[in-house]
Structures are given as structure tokens and as C-alpha cells.
Structure 1
Amino acid sequence: MAIDKVKEYFKAFGRDGDVLEFPTSSATVELAAQALGTEPARIAKTLSFRVGEDCVLVVCAGDAKIDNPKYRAQFACKARMLSAGEVESMTGHAVGGVCPFANPEGVRAYLDVSLKRFGTVFPACGSGNSAIELTPDELFRYAGAAEWVDVCKGWQE
């Protein structure tokens, strides 16, 4: 299971015990916010895209949406999300549990600036009923993120 892989990944940082598992689904922003008792914007959703033959993950705030012109400027291509059938094979995680941890070699993670307004955020941990609470800087470090990007809209309005 992907959650076991993520827990093993966090063991190297002494954080495996911080992975939260819920008796209910947290597979969407709304469900995760309910399970955690927090506002949906603090859910760090991981969106998976195809860039050429590669997979790119963009982690953004739960209230943010991809801004196509900004995405094109950042990645030099149109935003094309992975199909449901491609997600698990390319990210190592099933839809609803996609996260920027313990991904296959070559998957690059980028964090959107929409996350920086929070003290802590909650990304998934490889299953549709898990999360971990991290500061944006911890998320950047643990995700092995390539860089902070500004590719979203809707969260400032």
C-alpha cells in the first residue's frame, strides 16, 4: 500500500508517527477538511500533470485552481492533468491519496505560493484517508520540491 511506503519514507525523518489516518474518506479537499476539522484552504492538494513524458506534481492550497496562462509560462506547455488511469502508475499513489512523498524516480514536485499564507497545511499521505500536518517549509523539504511556483488563481480573490 502507498500509505505504508509514505510512512516508511517519513521514518527517515522521525515523522512516521505523525501520519494521520481517518476512519472516513479524506480523498477530496472537502472531505479532508471535515476529517481534520479545518478550513478547506489548508488542505494541500497535489495535482498531477504530464509535461512531455514526465510527471509533474503541483501542490497548492485547497481553495486554489490552476491558472492556465501562469502554468504555461512556468512549464512551457499547456496544463494537462494525468488521466485517472495514469495517476497511480506515474505517481505511485491512487487518486484521492496522491501526495509529493515517496514518488517514483523522476517525478518532480513544485509547491504553489498559495500555501505560504498558512502556518501549517495538510497534504495526503498516499491513501484516501490520510494526511500529515506540516509547515510550508517542511512540506517543501520533505517533498524534495524543485521550487516554489505561482501557477494558481482564486485563492487571493
Structure 2
Amino acid sequence: MSLESVKSHFKKWDRDGDVMEFNTLSATVDQAADTIGVEPARIAKTLSFRGSEEQAILVVAAGDAKIDNKKFREFFGFKARMLTPEEVLEQTGHAIGGVCPFGLKNELAVYLDISMKRFDSVFPACGSTNSAIELTCEELYEYSLAKEWVDVCKGWNEEELKDCV
């Protein structure tokens, strides 16, 4: 059902046929990178956090990025607390390993981390543990209905982004 909700979401842009389904797992960053044949940093992972209200917030980041608690707190005004797998499924409609900002069960705030901007394209999951789609950062922003680009991660090479700008 989750994969189908994502495909339905992409029909609005006539991109449902671009969703890739694999015979192997793509549930983790490393599995997805191996399956697709790209470096792990190009996997756009979706992280789910408790928001200031009842609703979760989603942060999509490059595969090699990690949440920087200080930056997160400064931007959002509260501590970064990840959802449990059960809460993720309840809030997004997607199980861990297929979480993405598309075809969501609830209307959630989506933020994109600048760690992805150093790539021409990235590969977010599509609602299952064996799916993905290749999108430019502009497409990811549009199709995810993101609120804005944020800088809340660490652990990735920020020099690469400066080289791209």
C-alpha cells in the first residue's frame, strides 16, 4: 500500500513510471547505494522527528549526513527526538526502510537539508524497502512539498557544496 501511495503521488507529475523497484533490499543507505550503484551520500534518507505539536516533521538529508543536535535545536526550537518505528508508520504510512516524503498518510512538514545540494541528483526511497526514484534537488523540493532548505546536519563534506556554488 505504501509503494502504491507514492506512485499515486507521483502521477500528478507523470513520474509514477520512474519509480524503480528492485529485487534486492534498499532499506538502508548502504543497501540502497549498492542496489542502485551510487555512492551512499547520494541516497536521500528521510528522518522522522517529534514536532512541537502532535505532528511529526521530516528531514531529508544526504546518506552521509548526521543530524547536528545543536543546529537542529537552533533552527526548530526544540530537541531532535526521533520517532519509534511504530510512530513513523503511524505518522507517515511508510515503514522503516521505505520512509520518504511522498504519498504520506498525514500532512507533515518536510525540510530538505543542504547536504544534498552538492549532487545533480539524489535517490530517495519510495515507500518500500526495495524502491527508489532519481530526482534532482529541485524536483525533490517540488515533489516533497518541502517547506524549505535547512542546515541541520553534520558529518558530510561541506567543502563539496562550496565547490558546486
The alignment's TM-score, normalised by the length of structure 1, stands at 0.98
In the alignment, does 2:108 pair up with 1:107? yes
In the alignment, does 2:23 pair up with 1:23? yes
Give the residue type in structure 1 aligned to 2:40.
P
In structure 2, the residue matched to 1:42 is 42
In structure 1, the residue matched to 2:117 is 116
Counterparts of 1:90-105 in structure 2 under 5 Å? 90-105=91-106
Identity over aligned pairs, percent? 63
Alignment partners' CA distance in 1, 2:135 and 2:111: 16
Alignment partners' CA distance in 1, 2:33 and 2:18: 17
Alignment partners' CA distance in 2, 1:2 and 1:106: 15
CA offsets per residue over residues 54-111 of structure 1, 9 Å max, x none? 1100000000000000000111000000011111001110000000001133311000
Gaps spanning 5+ residues in structure 1: where? Answer: none
Gaps spanning 5+ residues in structure 2: where? Answer: 159-165
> Is residue 91–residue 106 contact of structure 2 (8 Å, CA) maintained in 1?
no
Give the residue type in structure 2 aligned to 1:115.
M
Provide the secondary structure at the position in 2 that maps to 1:117: coil
Alignment partners' CA distance in 1, 2:92 and 2:102: 9
Provide the secondary structure at the position in 2 that maps to 1:59: strand
- Range 45-54 or range 99-108, more displaced: 99-108
In structure 1, the residue matched to 2:161 is none
CA offsets per residue over residues 97-155 of structure 1, 9 Å max, x none? 00000113331100000000000000000000000000001000000000000000000
In structure 2, the residue matched to 1:72 is 73
Provide the secondary structure at the position in 2 that maps to 1:58: strand
Alignment partners' CA distance in 2, 1:74 and 1:81: 16
Give the residue type in structure 1 aligned to 2:86.
G
Provide the secondary structure at the position in 1 that maps to 2:71: helix
In the alignment, does 2:10 pair up with 1:10? yes
Alignment partners' CA distance in 2, 1:23 and 1:11: 23
The alignment's TM-score, normalised by the length of structure 2, stands at 0.93
In structure 2, the residue matched to 1:51 is 51
In structure 1, the residue matched to 2:145 is 144
Provide the secondary structure at the position in 2 that maps to 1:13: coil
